[in-house]
Chains A and B, each alone.
Chain A
Amino acid sequence: MLLAAVVAGCGGGSGKSTRLVVSAASSMTEALESCAPKFGDAENADVRLSFAGSDELAAQIRQGAKVDVYAAANTRIPDELHADDLLSTPVEFATNEFVLAVPKDSDIGSVEDLTKDGTKLVIGSESVPIGTYTRETLAKLPPDQEEAILANVRSNEPDVKGIIGKLTQGAADAGFVYVTDVNPTGGDLKAITLAKDLEPNVTYGAGVVKQAEQPELAKKFVEDLTEGDCALALADAGFGRAP
């Protein structure tokens, strides 16, 4: 089913001759949906976007899914794919800010507030980057605080959208997400910035899949992520530029 989803992609059908399949982390949905059609028009290609958790997309590539570009919400998974000779040398193309998201009228103002008994916290599953960043961040806290916060976790979601959905529906009190996921909620959620010593370094990495059917076009798309329309779209969505 998931492989079929990749093959079918999310882009609309058009009469263009070449097709570029881009697998990207969920957090880039809005940004890439706005810039990919422009890239497609310029290159006369049908760009098919497939969004899911970075780990899941990587698993699809490992299972042989026909993907041209892979763009992840961290650099670890692209590095692993490269090490296994499944991806070109990854390029760092954007950064994101890891924040605490809460409903707009919430009393929660800091990570320390999450230790309170009965706080419903929703985080990413251990296998997705957002979940890894969350656990790394919590591990920097004093052990008793870390323990109290982890005891309040009520769901390990397979991607960021699940965390945001649980928050906007009032099912949870707080969640760790990227600042770019809070912006599109139209003010329903607010982002609480973490102390500098807690904040993880969130860098996005992308590369051309070794089995790509359009390696040249895929390379151009990766370049577009670093300095083209997609780089601008990512900046508009609140992403930072990779150092």
Chain B
Amino acid sequence: MTRPGWFSALLGVCLAAALTFLTLPVVAIFVDSSPGDLIASLGEPGALDALWLSLRTTAAAIAIILLVGTPAAYLLATRSFRGKAAVVTLIELPLVLPPAVAGIALLAAVGPSGILGGAIEAAGIELSLTTAGVVVALTFVASPFYVRQAMASFAAVDRTLLDASRTLGASEAHGFLRVMIPLAMPGLAAGTALALGRALGEFGATLMFAGSFQGITQTVPLAIYDRFSTDFDSALALSAVLVAVSAAILLSVKLVRGGEALGVVAR
């Protein structure tokens, strides 16, 4: 048992390096700002506007993602058809797109000079430089996180349960709502949390597509960037809030996933 000694040491050193590298910047946010300053900076109207706007736009984006993404994910998980792999890949693509590409892509598609710009304007809808535009940007970047997770969760549900409900005379719609969604719930919740985290942190696509205006389009990440050069303390305070919220989201995912894992073991 002497040979694994150096290897274990190497593993330990790498873990320590990774842990230090990943936690130090986050810890620094809190070390660099005293709790008093933090609360004082958050009392500033611009910061509160940004927090409130981030909450509203993220909630709207998540609502759209759940309403449209859940049935879409269910379809992808329960049906096979030609080109399904291509469809799944296309839906997942925004996951790996750089935010700047997402911003340009949204402008090219639904911006005023974009391919659908004329139609959107004719319908009396204004997206660029509006709160609705922020919701569009958040929905675009965050939805794949949810749809992917929801698909996997629906696929993992034991199909005999759905079939049983069908033989008892329930329609597929009824089975989807009463059997599939409750059984897939832990996975759906985890997917929601991931999408929530991504939407809250969105920066590049929002700035390029929706601009930056206090109370209208300046979400917390944009407010942090705006304060970076002039009011570093306030930028730190807002960052600390995002860290806390993100940590809470991650923790809730862990708890939900933990429950799911226990369920698997029990089964």
What is A's interface to B at a CB cutoff of 8 Å?
2, 53, 55-56, 58-59, 120, 122, 125-127, 153-158, 162, 165-166, 169-172
Contacts and interface: CB of A to CB of B under 8 A. Distances in A.
Query: DSSP majority for the B interface?
Result: loop
A137 B88 CA distance: 52
Contacts of B113: 169-170
Contacts of A55: 229-230
Interface residues of B, number: 22
A169 B129 contact: no
A165 B212 CA distance: 13
B212 A171 contact: no
Nearest to B209: A171
Contact of A154 (B129, B207, B225, B228): B129
A56 B211 contact: no
Contact of B228 (A56, A120, A156, A166): A56
Contacts of A155: 129, 211-213, 217
A56 B229 contact: yes
A172 B113 CA distance: 11
B135 interface: no
A58 B232 CA distance: 12
A2 B203 CA distance: 14
Given A55-B229, A59-B229, A120-B129, A170 B111 contact: yes
Residue of A2, A126, A153, A165 most packed against chain B (CB within 10 A): A165
A162 B218 CA distance: 14
B203 to A, nearest CB: 10
B208 interface: yes
Contacts of B232: 59
Nearest to A122: B211
A162 B112 contact: no
Contacts of B226: 125, 127, 156, 158
